[in-house]
Structure 1
Amino acid sequence: MSNPVLHRSVTVPGDICHISCVTPDRVWIGDHDGKNIILINSEGDILHMTNVMSMRGQHTVNLTGDLIYIDRDGNIIKLSQDNRTKTTLIKKTEEWEPKCIYSSHLNGDLLVGIWSYKKGIIARYNGSGQLKQIIQHGNTGQKLYYDPIYITENNNGDVIVSDLGHHAVVVTDYEGRPRFSYSGPPSGSGLFPQGICTDALSHILVCDFITSTIHMIDRDGHFLSLILTRPQGINGPMGLSYDDKSHLLWVGLYGGEKKVRVYRYIERQDYLQSITNQSKINI
C-alpha cells in the first residue's frame, strides 16, 4: 500500500519496549516503565501480568501460544497458554547473559541472543531447552555480534538480529553463515536498531529509534522504503510484531505516548493467506 492505514490505536500502561502477538486480538507487551510483561486485548484491557525485568526483546510466543521469557535472574521460563504453569527451560550460567529471545514459527526452536565476555552470541535451542547450535563468528573469524537486543527469523530460516553495538541489522542463514549487514540507506549512514520482525512476503522491518522510522528491506538486505515515519504517528518506535493471521503490524512506542498502534500496510489479504505457508521452508 502506498500509505499504511492505521487500524487501531491502543492506550497501554507504560512505554513499550517489545511486543509478541498471540492471536489477532491478543498480544504480550513489555512495559518498560513497570518492568512487566502484560497480556492485553485489542481494546487495551489487561488480561494477565507477569512481573519481570522487561527490557527490549526479552519475550516471545511459541507455536502453541505459550509465553517464553527471560526472568529477572536470567533464566528462560515458559508460561503456559492458560497462564497457570511456569516451566524453567534454560537456566542462566555465569558465562552468559541472555538479552533477547525468539521462538521459531518454522520448527519451534528457541533463538537466544547472548552477551558474554564483551561479545555477542546467538544460541539455538530446541523447544525443550537443549542446545543445538552456536552462531558467533563470520567467514574470516570476525565477531558477528556485539550487543544483540532483538532477534527474529525469516521464512527461509535466516536469523535476523538488531545489534545495537554494531548499529546494524545482522543476518545469517539457518546454518549460521553470514548473509548481510544492514546499517541504513544509504549503506553505512547509521541506524539505531530496535524492534524487528518479518512479514508474509519475507520483508524485514526494523525500528530506527533515533529517526522515529520503520525501515522495510527485502530478504537480501536491499532497502525498499521507510514504511512508517513520525508524520504518520510514529514517535519513538521500539516494539514491533507482525501478526501472520491478520497481517497487521503492531508498533509499540517509547517516550511518553504510552500507545500501541496497529497498521495494515499490505493489500490482497486473500493472496497473503495463500502464500503464507508456501513461503516457509521446512527445517
Structure 2
Amino acid sequence: MDKYALQKSVTVSGTSQCLHIAHVSTDRVWISGNKGNLILTNKTGVTLDRVTGLPEYGGGVHTVNSDSDVIYIDSHGNIIKLSTDHKVKTTVIPYTYPWTPWSVYSSPSTGDLLVGMYNTGTVTGQVHRYTNTGEHMQTIQHDNTGQGMYSDPQYITENRNEDVIVSDFGRHAVVVTDSRGRHRFTYTGPTPGSRLNPHGICTDALSHILVCDYYTYTVQIIDQDGLFLTQIETEQHGIYKPWSLSYDWDTQLHWVGSAIYNKVNIYRLINEGDDLTGELHSYMIV
C-alpha cells in the first residue's frame, strides 16, 4: 500500500485559512484564503503579492495556466486573468445569470478552461468548457439516463487521460466524466454506505485522484477508475481539517492546506516503485 510521508509544514502569512492552492512553480503558489484574499507565497510562507475581491465560499476559485497567468473568479462572478507581471486584468468569461461560477481550472493538455457552475434557483450544477480566450465549447450536465450529475461543483480538475473530475459538495461525491462529458463513475467513499464531504481535489503522475474529506478529516486517494487506495491521516501532522490540495509535477510533492489554520503540509508518496520523471517534462497540473 502506498504511504505518504510529511516533508515540510509551511505557515502562510496574510491569511487564517488555506482554501485552495495552485502552483505557479516549485517555489511559488497562489493560495486563496479568508475574506476573498488571494495570496502569492513562496515555500517559506512569505507573501509575495495579493489580490482581493474574490468570493468567500472557499471553492476552487483560481487556477494557473501554462503561461503562469493566474485566472480567478471575482466576487461578481466574472472570470478574470491576471497577467504574469500582475499588472493587467482581463475579463475572460463574464458572469451570465443565473449560472454562477463556483470553480475554475486551466487544462495543461489543451489550455481549455473548465468551469463548475451553480444555479441557486434550481440548486443544480453544470460543467462548462471554454477556450483560453473565453469561447464556450461544451456543457456537461446529464448522465446517460438524463439525470443531472452535479449539484454544487466546488472544485474541478482534470486527470492525465483528460477525465473531468468534480468535487461536488452538494452530492457528497466525486463525479468523473470523460472529456466528451460521458459519466464514468461517482465516488462516495471507501466503503458502501460511507459518507463523503468532499472539498479540494487534485491528481498526480500516477493518475491517482486525491480529495479532501471534511467528514473523516483525511485526504482520500482513489485510482483513475474510482477504486479506493489509501488515505493521508493529516490530523497527526497538525492539519485537523484538510480543505485544499495541489500537486507539484516537478517535485512530485502533494500540498495539503487547512480550513482553520494558515498552514500547508507538503507530503511525498513513498514506495512509488516506478520512476515518474520521464513522463513529467511536458505535463503540469495546477
Task: Report the TM range for the smaller structure's normalisation.
Answer: over 0.9
Structure 1 distance, partners of 2:263, 2:115, is: 27
| Residue number in structure 1 paired with 2:279 | 275
Q: Does 1:46 align with 2:54?
A: no
Q: Which amino acid aligns with 2:133?
A: S
Q: Does 1:234 align with 2:239?
A: yes
**Deviation of 1:261 (Å):** 1.0
Q: Per-residue CA shift, 1:20-51, capped at 9, x if unaligned? A: 0110110000112x320000000111000000
From 18, 22, 30, give the equivalent of 2:32. Answer: 30
Q: Which amino acid aligns with 1:4?
A: Y
Name the stretch that deviates more: 110-119 or 262-271: 262-271
| Residue number in structure 2 paired with 1:17 | 19
Q: Which ranges of structure 1 fall in alignment gaps of 5 or more residues?
A: none
Indicate the SS of the match to 2:19: strand
Indicate the SS of the match to 2:165: strand
Q: Which ranges of structure 2 fall in alignment gaps of 5 or more residues?
A: none
**Deviation of 1:2 (Å):** 5.0
- Whether the 8 Å contact between 1:38 and 1:48 is mirrored in structure 2 is yes
- Whether the 8 Å contact between 1:213 and 1:234 is mirrored in structure 2 is no
| Residue number in structure 2 paired with 1:194 | 199
Indicate the SS of the match to 1:274: helix
Matches within 5 A, 1:33-112: 34-54=35-55, 55-112=58-115
**Deviation of 1:233 (Å):** 3.2
**Deviation of 1:232 (Å):** 3.7
Q: Does 1:151 align with 2:193?
A: no
**Deviation of 1:127 (Å):** 0.5
Structure 2 distance, partners of 1:173, 1:191, is: 22
Structure 2 distance, partners of 1:8, 1:237, is: 15
- Whether the 8 Å contact between 2:60 and 2:154 is mirrored in structure 1 is yes
Name the stretch that deviates more: 9-18 or 168-177: 9-18
**Compared CA separation, residues 87 and 192, structure 1 to 2 (3 A):** same
Q: Does 1:214 align with 2:216?
A: no
TM-score, length basis structure 2: 0.93
**Compared CA separation, residues 229 and 45, structure 1 to 2 (3 A):** closer
RMSD (CA atoms): 1.8
Structure 1 distance, partners of 2:237, 2:3, is: 9
TM-score, length basis structure 1: 0.93
- Whether the 8 Å contact between 2:160 and 2:207 is mirrored in structure 1 is yes
- Whether the 8 Å contact between 1:113 and 1:151 is mirrored in structure 2 is yes
Indicate the SS of the match to 1:205: strand
**Compared CA separation, residues 2 and 198, structure 1 to 2 (3 A):** closer
From 266, 269, 272, give the equivalent of 1:265. Answer: 269
- Whether the 8 Å contact between 1:195 and 1:239 is mirrored in structure 2 is yes
Structure 1 distance, partners of 2:10, 2:239, is: 13
